[in-house]
């Protein structure tokens, strides 16, 4: 492989200054490399949005120079946008066997499996794309086969860590190979682009083995009633732990939730659940006595349409929980999801269900490095430059301070900053346009565009539609009809008074505007807004439908 270019630059389009929506670009010469392509969720900050992702327009315009997309691991915030955005990129995809198994299901659902090319590289494998010499380095994380990515160019070596931690007993897959990182450090690393999620957390993140010991004891101590365990579907080690704890307590395990079934199939395809008995379907859970049933359930973050949320609301078609049952949240609260999780837990408690969280028992450990683990990696890799990513600004700042203590020169970025790493002194030299796309049914729309702006306005201020019949001279015929769902109750006298005021305003429209369709419609909308403003002191989305008679 020849490396003719002596420059390298880094550009995050998503995932820097925020948690989720990871989409990273590296440039060497005129060639571009993409690393990860993930989604994020709207949460309380954006209640009008369910799923969103970075806008790839910058690299889409350069896709003839895009040599490939490398997936570091199979979490939704790193892989979830591929099926949505690949038609705009149309480049080769590189993933580990487990990542590829998860991705094939997503691409198949999108009808793209026959078009998108997935190149499978084993954990720890080496490969090349254009001027980039690339190597996977296995790391421990809360999903199987997570990989850091070594990027070799003529300008130097960059380590892109992806999500990682140091866990001596990860249960599924090997521990992070610290010796391999030390050898990389001996080569000389120009820059490390590194996970910042837990940069404010002292100590270490903890081990999956400790969670297994806790869950075995906890599940074994529960006498009678159904048990449900909510965890992240992609945490195969946690799934294996729950299955082990259930077997020790003589309980059968049912999977409840589509994402769990998909991840179970992918894990078994890759041999990651060898020795774990097959799970029963949720439809058959009712055939198992309550004291012999444990259910793995999706919805640990309180997602409204998840299995656990529907169980808590008593709307699930197959599963019910009540007095004497137990739900264990084997997960952490992702910032922004506190209210949604609290609502589900409150509904379960109201139904007589015992709710157990990591505040009471050690039923969860993070998949991201705490400060002692970050210090250890810096000691092994010894990068000249530290680039904190995968975190909000407070996480990035804390990471930067730690990196400086460890002898690296930190550079703080936000999405869209173009960081020249070499040649010369590393610095932000330019910026690229960034934005967010929102999943709206089967299409993508711009988060900052008119559709979502109207959705936000309707959400907080409502929608009012007026229908007006006018004759050939533009005079109102009959009485206007106004519909204002979410603003007035049926039969509200205030709605009638507002409609009367709207009708009087229509009579005052100047004759010169009555023959022009657009001018008359805009004048009618203005009249309706005035009538609403007087009555409601709100500014809903307003439209008027003119009917010529």
pTM of the shown model: 0.86
User: What pLDDT sits at residue 473?
Assistant: 78
Largest CA distance in the chain: 86
| Spatial contact of 476 and 507, defined as CB atoms under 8 Å apart | yes
pLDDT in tens, 378-433: 999 999 999 999 999 999 999 999 999 999 999 999 999 999 999 999 999 999 99
User: What pLDDT sits at residue 3?
Assistant: 40
The CATH number for 462-548, chosen from 3.20.20.70, 3.40.228.10, 3.10.20.580, 3.40.50.150, is 3.10.20.580
CATH of domain 8-203+366-446: 3.60.15.10
Common-topology check for domains 8-203+366-446 and 208-356 = no
- 3-state secondary structure labels for all residues of 113-124: CCCCCEEECCCC
In the chain, where the domains are located: 8-203+366-446, 208-356, 462-548
pLDDT in tens, 129-176: 999 999 999 999 999 999 999 999 999 999 999 999 999 999 999 999
User: What pLDDT sits at residue 509?
Assistant: 81
In angstroms, the CA 56 to CA 419 distance is: 18
Contacting residues for 452 by C-beta, under 8 A, at least 6 apart: 48, 49, 438, 445, 446
Reduced to 3 states, what is the DSSP secondary structure of residue 403?
helix
Reduced to 3 states, what is the DSSP secondary structure of residue 521?
helix
Helix pair 258-269, 97-109: axis angle to 10 deg: 140
Reduced to 3 states, what is the DSSP secondary structure of residue 106?
helix
Name the phi and psi angles at 530, rounded to 5.
Answer: -65, -45
User: What pLDDT sits at residue 48?
Assistant: 67
CATH of domain 208-356: 3.40.50.10710
Copy the structure tokens of residue 496: 């009638």
User: What pLDDT sits at residue 110?
Assistant: 93
Complete edge-to-edge strand list for the sheet that includes strand 409-410: 126-129, 132-138, 147-153, 156-160, 191-195, 385-389, 409-410
Q: Which residue has the tokens 């009471």?
A: 360
Copy the structure tokens of residue 327: 């739900």
* Positions in the chain whose pLDDT score sits under 50: 1-4
User: What pLDDT sits at residue 2?
Assistant: 36
In angstroms, the CA 117 to CA 120 distance is: 10
Name the phi and psi angles at 18, rounded to 5.
Answer: -160, 160
User: What pLDDT sits at residue 513?
Assistant: 78
Is the bond into 423 cis (omega within 30 degrees of 0)? yes
Contacting residues for 502 by C-beta, under 8 A, at least 6 apart: 466, 480, 482, 527, 528, 531
């Amino acid at each position: 492989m020849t490396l003719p270019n002596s420059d390298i630059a880094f550009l995050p389009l998503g995932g820097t200054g925020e948690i989720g929506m990871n989409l990273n670009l590296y440039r060497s010469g005129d060639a571009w490399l993409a690393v990860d392509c993930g989604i994020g969720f709207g949460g309380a900050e954006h209640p009008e949005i369910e799923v969103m992702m970075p806008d790839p327009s910058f690299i889409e315009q350069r896709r003839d120079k895009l040599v490939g997309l490398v997936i570091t691991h199979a979490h939704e915030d790193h892989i979830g946008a591929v099926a949505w955005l690949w038609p705009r990129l149309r480049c080769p995809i590189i993933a580990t066997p487990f990542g590829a198994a998860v991705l094939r299901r997503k691409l198949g659902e999108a009808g793209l499996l026959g078009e998108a090319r997935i190149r499978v590289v084993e954990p720890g494998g080496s490969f090349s794309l254009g001027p980039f010499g690339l190597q996977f380095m296995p790391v421990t994380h809360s999903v199987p086969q997570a990989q850091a990515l070594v990027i070799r160019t003529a300008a130097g070596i960059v380590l892109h860590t992806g999500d990682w931690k140091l866990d001596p007993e990860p249960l599924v897959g090997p521990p992070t190979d610290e010796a391999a990182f030390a050898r990389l450090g001996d080569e000389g690393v120009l820059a490390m682009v590194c996970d910042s999620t837990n940069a404010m957390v002292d100590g270490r993140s903890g081990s999956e083995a400790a969670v297994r010991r806790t869950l075995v004891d906890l599940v074994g101590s529960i006498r009678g009633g159904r048990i449900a365990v909510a965890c992240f579907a992609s945490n195969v080690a946690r799934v294996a732990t729950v299955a082990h704890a259930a077997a020790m307590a003589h309980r059968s395990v049912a999977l409840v939730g589509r994402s769990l079934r998909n991840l179970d199939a992918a894990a078994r395809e890759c041999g990651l659940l060898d020795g774990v008995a097959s799970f029963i379907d949720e439809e058959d859970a009712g055939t198992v006595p309550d004291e012999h049933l444990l259910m793995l359930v999706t919805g640990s973050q309180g997602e409204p349409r998840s299995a656990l949320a529907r169980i808590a609301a008593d709307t699930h078609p197959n599963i019910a929980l009540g007095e004497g049952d137990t739900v264990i949240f084997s997960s952490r609260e992702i910032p922004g999801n506190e209210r949604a999780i609290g609502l589900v837990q409150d509904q379960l408690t109201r139904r007589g269900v015992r709710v157990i969280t990591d505040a009471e028992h050690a039923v969860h450990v993070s998949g991201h490095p705490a400060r002692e683990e970050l210090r250890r990696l810096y000691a092994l890799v010894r990068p000249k430059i530290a680039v904190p990513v995968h975190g909000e600004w407070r996480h990035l700042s804390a990471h930067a301070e730690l990196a400086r203590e460890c002898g690296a020169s930190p550079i703080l970025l936000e999405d869209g900053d173009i960081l020249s790493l070499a040649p010369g002194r590393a610095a932000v030299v330019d910026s690229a346009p960034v934005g967010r796309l929102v999943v709206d049914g089967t299409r993508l729309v711009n988060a900052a565009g008119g559709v979502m702006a109207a959705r936000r306005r309707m959400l907080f201020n409502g929608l009012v539609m007026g229908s007006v019949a006018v004759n050939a001279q533009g005079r109102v015929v009959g009485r206007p009809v106004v519909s204002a769902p979410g603003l007035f109750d049926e039969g509200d006298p205030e709605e009638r008074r507002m409609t009367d005021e709207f009708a009087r305003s229509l009579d005052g429209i100047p004759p010169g505007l009555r023959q022009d369709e657009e001018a008359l419609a805009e004048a009618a909308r203005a009249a309706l807004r005035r009538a609403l403003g007087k009555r409601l002191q709100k500014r809903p989305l307003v439209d008027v439908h003119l009917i010529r008679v």
